[in-house]
Chains A and B, each alone.
Chain A
Amino acid sequence: MQAGITFVIPIGVYHMYKSLYFYVGSGKPSENNSASSQTAAPPDKENAAEPEPQQLRPDAVITGNLAYDLKLIKAAIGQNSDVNFREFVVRGFQARAVLMYVNGMQDEEQINKQVMQPLMMMDKQEGRGELLPDRLSCEYVKENLLPLAQISEAKDMKDLQESVLFGYTALLIDGMPHALYVGLPNGANRAITEPTSEALLRGPRLGFTEVLSENTSMLRRQGLNKNLEMKTYEVGNLMKKKLVIAYINNIVNQDLLQDVTERICKIDMDYIAESGYVEQLIEDNYLSPFQQTQNTERPDRVISALLEGRIAILLDGTPFALIVPVTFSMLLQSPEDYYERWLPGSLLRLMRFGASFMALMAPALYISFISFHPGLIPTELAISIILTRAGVPFPSVIEVMILEISIEILREAGIRLPKPIGPAMGIVGGLIIGDAAVQAGIVSPFLVIVVAVTAISSFSIPMYSAGITLRILRFAGMIFAAVLGMFGTILFFLLICIHLTKLKSFGVPYVTPFSPIRLGDWKDLYLRAPLSLMRRRPEMLKTQIKKRRGK
């Protein structure tokens, strides 16, 4: 009978896992239908055109007849109250012209000085002897009239309408069958600030912003390198967004690059709100509690990852860039490890490994020692713990759960509180409730120590999302410990090891410097070896140029 149960349950679990995996995976384009959506760009165009198919022919060209063009455009986008049409006359040619822009997204001063002024003030006499052509041509306007660096032409009517709505300032002149973009979108932006989720004591104070072009420029400004390549893709079916894949051309492994590009192209979503969307759509195993991309706000972190042979994915509208592939050890590293001298860097890193082990295992160990094996800890310690627990009416599992869950709630509440209230809640939550709970005899003081140490340990993990993973797993560990004591804790540890070993991030084994063992990469694992010793890029990424230094 028992054998039967032993047999049936894993099959059930296995099938549940499989079906869950397929269910979750059904939202993602799988290998089978990849052929239908090889590139994201072409189908996008058609989808976007759908809302207004009656008003315009999709392949409408700009005729050069201003009145007709304008009518067409107004029919398509004129109903938006924030779209402005400024009509005027180009003085030298007596040609009618119109400027189109969206309120608040044009650069007022630049338009006035560099576009309106030359066009409206120009006289034939001012040509300084040059002969003016009878008709305005696009080239002439670009080359002689508008003193602008950033100027481009619209491809067709649809492109023109979309771009105007996106914030470009467009210029149409009667008799000229082209539309010119004379101003870039210039909406309100946040100033560049220090990255809040990854603050450092020592290191650049620069953090990414929401503007993609600023972010890529920050990457470029990290140093001169003509091999730093960035490729732009458009993602999102309904609302298109730009996505940039950045890598260093002569370092990155080409197979890896191809893999990443393919996965990006397969993204099929109507709107990509944040790089977290991208992360969830391109990761290898979407049922794993471990993240398979690293998100960061720091350009310096991105650049050093690129130099190791990794690939960065930047999305417009979010300050968080993704780094792939990620390995387990990266989650416990901070750029500061490299900025400080190697000895403190190594010690801090070792401490973080210890802290993450504590954050994962401490409550589980507490439960298994207290409930199952008090004999395994030193006798005096066991006695003092048991004395403090004498008044506690719950088994240790419930006791730990109560405190752990309230700590988690406290944490969650603290994130969203306005800054002035935050510390007050910390005092109420941490000090008053903790003390009162001990006084009331619900929990033992020793447990408060354990839980507090666990919480502090989990704060020391540099990646916020990695911390969340450990928090989830901590509860799983507590359940294992509650059922089978030390034996359960060992099983839990083994399960995590097995899972991590099976996990891959873009084809790179997740725990790679540990296993498969690459001793060369151990210099940058527990310890941060002196820079002079780190002569090679990580072996695991199979880069094209292995050495970091010239000689």
Chain B
Amino acid sequence: MFKRTDDKITSAQAAIFLTNTVLGAGILTLPRGVTDVVRTPDAWLSLLLGGVIVMLVLLIMVKLSQQFPGHTVYQYSRRIVGTVPGAFLSLLLIVYFIIIAGFEIRVLAEVAMFFLLEGTPIWAIVIPFVWTGAYLLFGGINTIARVYQIIFPISLFVLILCYAFSIKLFELDHLRPVLSEGLVPVLKGLKSTVLVFTGCEVAMTLTAYLQHPKQAVKAMFMGIGIPLVLYLLTIVMVIGGLSLDSVTTSTWPTIDLVRSFEIPGFFFERLEFPLLVIWMMQMFCNFCSFFFNASLGISQVFKLRFHPVVFALIPAIFISVMVPKRINDVFALGDAIGRMGIGLFFLVPVLLSVVLIIRKKGLKQSV
């Protein structure tokens, strides 16, 4: 009882794990990303729609994973489509995770350099961050999930606090008219709203670690539901507070929103500082999730020990952080990641599910 094996997580932990994986860069980038495309205040509609789509995607992933209890996608993909194609698919997923991990840190470093540490070289920000992540990873999934459990309530509290105070600026008129130009812009916005949910692929590995795999669907829906609600709140508050035009022109609209009001008598006066703090912690969680999944993938595909893989990935991630030259490259990379995510979705869960169904139903094979 006291010497439990530490590689199982409870459903609540899994939900928070997924939440912390998805909720991250989007808090700051999402409002501009969506409104840039939609160009009407209906951005929140596309987010809602995007969320529903992602939930369906998630359902497929979880159902697929539940066919192989205790196995991650890296392990069961080879059982479905064979060793080499399975390893290839897993590798795609791993590369994808490494690129996202690098992207997350890059965004973090850009924000940190812009708001907190002007003139600090980027490596000085990135390297300690990666190291701290590696230290967390050594503890295994149970430790990671528990650290998330500490960080998430703090983040949630501060985030809600920020939005609660920005109600002062909120004007419903900024969100009107609804569907002024029909559904077309909303559908166009889908592209970038689905992007903020990149990372939900970790559900395919998380399910394997659940203590009660039967509750996986519930846990994962919770895990995606919380960020969906928070993102929705972000978009509504930011657009409602700042108006559409200023959102599209600012780089980090959420911070601008929080900066634009002062709370007299409060020590910090502005909530921008706490927001940045929790956002950084949230980014840390984000990064660690992808880092963990990439390391796990490599160690399972090539049957290596976990710790050396983490060490080997540290420079890989560092290089992927340094690849984009300017901040516009970073945003371009973000879009690219979104497209990759969609591609991967068709390649991995859909393909695997189809093959599995054909083999099970059609050819009556036992997999």
Whether the pair A501, B10 counts as a contact (CB closer than 8 A) is no
Q: List B contacts of A493 (CB < 8 A).
A: 281
Say yes or no: is B311 at the interface (Cβ < 8 Å to chain A).
yes
A450 to chain B, nearest CB (A): 14
| Among A14, A498, A514: residue with most chain B CB under 10 A | A498
Instruction: Check A508–B314 contact: CB distance below 8 A.
Output: no
Contacts of B280 in A (CB 8 A): 487, 490
Is B12 interfacial (CB 8 A cutoff)?
yes
Complex: how many Å from CA A505 to CA B1?
14
Quick check: is A241 within 8 A (CB to CB) of the other chain? no
Chain A residues near B312 (CB-CB < 8 A): 7
Which residues 37-96 of B sit at the A interface, judged by CB distance below 8 A? none
Given contacts A6-B127, A376-B268, contact A502 B132 (CB under 8 A): no
Counting chain B CB atoms within 10 Å of each CB, the highest count among A3, A487, A506 belongs to A487
Task: Tell whether, in the assembled complex, residue A10 and residue B319 are in contact, meaning their CB atoms are under 8 Å apart.
Answer: no
Stretch from B18-26, B143-151, B155-163, B347-355 forming part of the interface with A = B143-151
Q: Is the CB of A255 within 8 A of B123?
A: no
State the CA gap A498–B116 with chains docked (Å).
24
**Which of the segments B133-141, B212-220, B248-256, B293-301 contacts the partner chain?**
B133-141
**B132 partner, pick from A256, A373, A376, A495, beta carbons under 8 A:** A495
Q: Does B197 contact A (CB under 8 A)?
A: no
The residue from A255, A484, A507 contacting B117, defined by CB atoms under 8 A apart: A484
Interface 0/1 of B1-36, CB less than 8 Å to A:
111000000101100000000000000000000000
A362–chain B nearest beta-carbon distance, Å: 13
| Chain B residues, Cβ within 8 Å of A2 | 123, 127, 318, 322
**Least CB separation from B273: chain A residue:** A376
Does any Cβ of B come within 8 Å of A220's Cβ? Answer: no
Within A354-372, the residues touching B (CB, 8 Å) are 372
Contact B130 A6 (CB under 8 A): yes
A201 at the interface (CB under 8 A from B): no
Partner of B315, one of A7, A488, A491, A506: A7
Say yes or no: A6 contacts B318, CB within 8 Å: yes
Contacts of A542 in B (CB 8 A): 1-2
Please state if B2 and A253 are interface contacts (CB–CB under 8 Å). yes
Q: Give the distance to chain B from A378, nearest Cβ to Cβ, in Å.
A: 5
Give B108's nearest chain A residue, CB to CB.
A487
For window 219-277 of chain B, which residues contact chain A by CB distance below 8 Å?
A: 267-270, 272-273, 276-277
Interface size on B, residues (CB 8 A): 48
A239 at the interface (CB under 8 A from B): no
Does A10 contact B311, Cβ atoms closer than 8 Å?
A: yes
Contact of A498 among B127, B139, B149 (CB under 8 A): B139
**Are B311 and A514 in contact (CB-based, < 8 A)?**
no
Nearest residue (CB) in B for A541 is B2
A501–B12 touching, CB < 8 Å: no
Q: How far is the CB of B348 from chain A (nearest CB, A)?
A: 29
Q: Which residues of B contact A514 (CB under 8 A)?
A: 149-150
* B132 A515 Cβ-Cβ under 8 A: no
Question: Which residues of chain A are near B272, meaning CB under 8 Å?
Answer: 376
The residues of B that contact A4 with a CB separation of less than 8 Å are 315
Count chain B CB atoms within 10 A of each CB in A253, A501, A507 and give the residue with the most. Answer: A501
Whether B136 lies near A498 (C-beta < 8 A) is yes
CB contacts under 8 Å to A, within B98-130, are 112, 116-117, 120, 123-125, 127-130
Distance between Cα atoms of A276 and B272 in the complex (Å): 46
Q: Does B131 contact A (CB under 8 A)?
A: yes
Q: Is the CB of B135 within 8 A of A495?
A: yes
Question: Which residues of A are found within 8 Å of B116, using beta-carbon distances?
Answer: 372-373, 485-487
A497 within 8 A of B: yes
B284 sits at the interface (CB 8 A): yes
* A366-388 with Cβ < 8 A to chain B: 372-373, 376-378
**B264 to A: closest C-beta gap in Å:** 9
Rounded to whole angstroms, the CA-CA distance of A11 and B12 in the bound complex is 34
- Cα A253 to Cα B1 with chains together (Å): 9
A202-246 interface mask toward B, CB cutoff 8 Å, 1 = contact, 0 = none?
000000000000000000000000000000000000000000000
User: Given the complex of chains A and B, what is the CA–CA distance between A377 and B270 in angstroms?
Assistant: 8
Quick check: A378 and B267 within 8 Å, CB to CB?
yes
The distance in angstroms between the C-alpha atoms of A148 and B192, with both chains bound, is 91
Say whether B149 contacts A516, CB under 8 Å. yes
A510: shortest Cβ distance to chain B, in Å? 10
User: Which residues of chain B are within 8 angstroms of A498 by Cβ–Cβ distance?
Assistant: 132, 135-136, 139, 143, 147
Least Cβ–Cβ distance between A526 and chain B, in angstroms: 12
State the Cβ distance, A13 to closest chain B Cβ, in Å: 8
- Bound state CA distance, A542 and B3, in angstroms? 13
Which residues of the other chain, B, contact A377 by a CB distance below 8 angstroms?
A: 267-269
Q: Is there contact, CB below 8 Å, between A507 and B150?
A: no
Which residues of chain B are near A378, meaning CB under 8 Å?
A: 267-269
Q: Which residues of A contact B307 (CB under 8 A)?
A: 14
Query: How far apart sit A318 and B307, CA to CA, in the bound complex (Å)?
Result: 43
Say yes or no: is A509 at the interface (Cβ < 8 Å to chain B). Answer: yes
Task: Pick the residue among B134, B147, B149 that contacts A10 (CB under 8 A).
Answer: B134
Chain B, residue nearest A5 (CB): B127
Q: What is the chain B residue whose CB lies nearest that of A258?
A: B2
Please tell me if the beta carbons of A516 and B10 are within 8 angstroms of each other in the complex. yes
Q: Closest CB-CB distance, A537 to chain B, in whole Å?
A: 15
Say whether B150 contacts A6, CB under 8 Å: no
Q: How far is the CA of A517 from the CA of B153 in the complex (A)?
A: 11
* Contact of A14 with B315 in the complex, beta carbons under 8 Å: no
A395 CB to closest chain B CB, in angstroms?
A: 16
Judging by beta carbons under 8 Å apart, are B139 and A502 in contact? yes
Decide yes or no: A487 and B112 within 8 Å by CB, A6-B318, A494-B284, A516-B10 being known contacts: yes
How far, in whole Å, are A484 and B10 apart by their CA atoms in the complex? 36
| B127 vs chain A, min Cβ distance (A) | 5
Whether A259 pairs with B2 at a CB distance below 8 angstroms is yes
Residue of B nearest to A506 (CB): B2
A and B contact pairs by CB, cutoff 8 A, 8 listed: A2-B123, A3-B322, A255-B1, A377-B268, A485-B116, A491-B128, A511-B146, A515-B147
- Nearest first, the 8 A-B pairs at minimum CB distance are A507-B2, A515-B149, A515-B146, A7-B315, A3-B315, A376-B273, A378-B269, A6-B318
The residues of B with any CB-CB pair to A shorter than 8 Å are: 1-3, 10, 12-13, 112, 116-117, 120, 123-125, 127-132, 134-136, 139, 143, 146-147, 149-151, 267-270, 272-273, 276-277, 280-281, 284, 307, 311-312, 314-315, 318-319, 322
Beyond the given A498-B139, A514-B149, could you list 17 further A-B residue pairs with CB under 8 A, ordered by the A residue number?
A3-B315, A6-B127, A6-B315, A10-B311, A253-B1, A372-B116, A376-B268, A377-B268, A378-B268, A484-B124, A487-B116, A494-B147, A494-B281, A494-B284, A502-B143, A507-B2, A516-B149
